[in-house]
Amino acid sequence: MKEIGKIIAEFPKSPESLIPILQEIQEQYNYLSEENIKEVSEKLDLPLQHVFSVATFYNVFSLRPKGRNIVKVCMGSACHVRGSNRILEEIERKLNIKNNETSADGRFSLETVNCLGACALGPIMVVNKEFKGHLTPSEVSKLISQELIEEKS
């Protein structure tokens, strides 16, 4: 994992660098800590309030630690009519967490999104960056079990 100072140093000291820097920190650490936000604010010479508002405005950023694996379930209308509710319930049951929660062991975070742009494949979930389409609750159960096993090893 890259140090925050190194990440910041890779970008020009300019307000335009704020979002790319926050993205890189989010990518590396899975969230933006208060300490990291302060460091970005100081090094870019931007008001702390401004950096916080950018970090809270975009939902790609998280101020809370996320799990090592991010599971996203599409709840857009096309996926919804094809049963995404049942998919979400199955994942919640399997991981023992609710939407927008992270498992106590820090392995999984569960989120919902509105449309992933692949409606014909619905219902869809994305595990990290991998799309899984045409899901049924039993397939989901199998996929999550595999993820649990692979993530452990």
Q: Which residue ranges make up the site for ligand FES (CB under 6 A)?
A: 74, 76-79, 115-119, 122, 124
Residue 19 vs 118, nearer CB to ligand FES:
118
CB of 25 to ligand FES, least distance (A): 28
Minimal distance, residue 132 CB to ligand FES, in Å: 12
Of the pair 43, 132, the CB lying nearest ligand FES is at 132
Which residue sits closest to ligand FES, CB atoms considered? 76
Least distance from ligand FES to the Cβ atom of residue 131, Å: 9
Give the span between the Cα atoms of 95 and 103, in whole angstroms: 7
Kindly tell me the burial class for residue 83, based on how many C-beta atoms sit within 10 Å of its own C-beta (0-12, 13-18, 19 or more): middle
Peptide bond before 47: cis, by omega within 30 degrees of 0? no
Q: Residues with Cβ < 8 Å from 57, sequence gap 6 or more?
A: none
